[in-house]
Structure 1
Amino acid sequence: MFSLLWRKKIIGLANGAVALSFGMVAALAPPASAHTLTNMFDTGCLGKSPTTLFPNSHLPGNTMSIEVSHPSSGVYHLQTGVGTFANTPTGPSVPAGTLATAMSRFRLLYKINPSTFVSASVVPGTGIGLVGPSSVTRVNATGAADPGGDYIALSGGATIAGASPSGSNGSVAGLTAPAVGGPTSTTSFQLPAVSISTTANELDAVVATNGSAGKYGNPANFLTFLVSVSYYGVASHAATMCMPTDVSALSDSDIGSYLPLNGGAGSLHS
């Protein structure tokens, strides 16, 4: 099943002396069953430049979806979709010799209802094109593991700076999609699916948008990851943070602001 879809858009991320472009492409999904719902919504993402010498990248209108299946009473599977990036980025701001090396430090954050939450885990056998560990951990608003926290996080134990107390933007780590193939190849990957058990009559977990998660360009956003490139052997990394919003014009003045949320912030299965 495919459910986290970025329509074919080129995303330019300032990475010190280079800029990385990558496109997340929609993938074909199998017919939905009576207990499967697909939620599509736009996101606004900030690609944070690692240096003040280059501007940040503002990325509105990236269409995503979350497909939720309901295999048994009280159990829901939230499956992400297939993404791709070109191993050799192209574009007017990308110098020859730039190679994409990885996307890593993925974290997907859901807000739960502590009074009905039972458990959450990675669905075995899901996820493609990834290396490193993957797990679902209950966390608090700081991203720290907390058995009484209000969130669950899919990650590989390493996040971007600010998404957890030990987060960093300095290296490839955690749940990672490494570039595979030669310079002319395209790398594909898919995040693992998350299984959530609840005592509620319907799924009451939603993508995180409360508190700091509702601010544009904040490490608490529901989807965060690190983009890494190499320019003749010199590595550079850019943290990326995404939230569900239909705002079509984004700039540095929006960073830290509460933007209007769209349907992606609502119920995922009802």
Structure 2
Amino acid sequence: MGLIKPGLLFGMMFNISLMAAEGCSDMGKNTTYSQPDTETLWGAEQLFYAVLRQPLADNWSDKLAASGLTRCDDAPISEIRLDGAKQGWGYYRIATASASNLIMQAPHQFYDSDTGEIARLLFAEHDFLALGLNSSNRHSDSDVVSADLAHLPRSHFTAMARAAVLAKANTVLVQVHGFAKAKRQVANQGVDLIVSNGTARSTSTLHTLSQCVQEHTGLMAEVYPDQINELGATTNTVGKTMRAMHSRGFLHLELSRNARQLLRDDRNVRAQLYECLSSYAR
């Protein structure tokens, strides 16, 4: 067999590395969802607890097999990336050196356009402990099995939430969603952001957050249910899971199309949103 030229060898190695990383792209969409069993969800919770706690558990990788997730070898040294896309269980990033109590989830990154990209950018540019993204559309290809990680009673998203509260009692888990004004009562109100904690009772801190976002980003923000009576996330199972553990750390953001485009395209606006979220989480 003849020798391979160095340039050709490099190209082959580069292509192979791309192929290895391709399976861990957290923008890929699966068309099916398999409901995880109780043992798998328990394993996922144990894994999430091991990677979210401070300091990072030395034996965290021993818990991978039971979680149904795989580790992405192409992650930067500052992150752990986990992949459950094959079964529709989502993608996860954990910042191993972060002391933050902020976690971001985008459960509808394909259906609510740009929410996944906004979440990825915020995680990359600012101090978040972890990020969760869905890997299947909220409806499976058969429309029989729901893949909606914001409303399934038990999922890897709820396992992540449980582990986060156990690892850090002051966890603030921010979910980003998108809405179409044409389909909502807000169509004629100019509202770009609806802030809620998933309950029928607002708090003064929610109003402070809403005012902060409006003042610093120019987006019109309102608080559920005091200023607007829809999209309050009262049926969101991640929020319910956290409240069952006596945590008030669930935060739900509904973004208009205009707000999503602005946050996607303008780094300064993202920075202002992060500062408001960081202040809220203190």
Q: TM-score, normalised by structure 1?
A: 0.26
Q: Which has the larger radius of gyration?
A: 2
Asked which structure has the greater RCO (Cα within 8 Å, sep 6+), the reply is 1
Report the structure, 1 or 2, having the larger strand content. 1
Report the structure, 1 or 2, having the larger helix content. 2
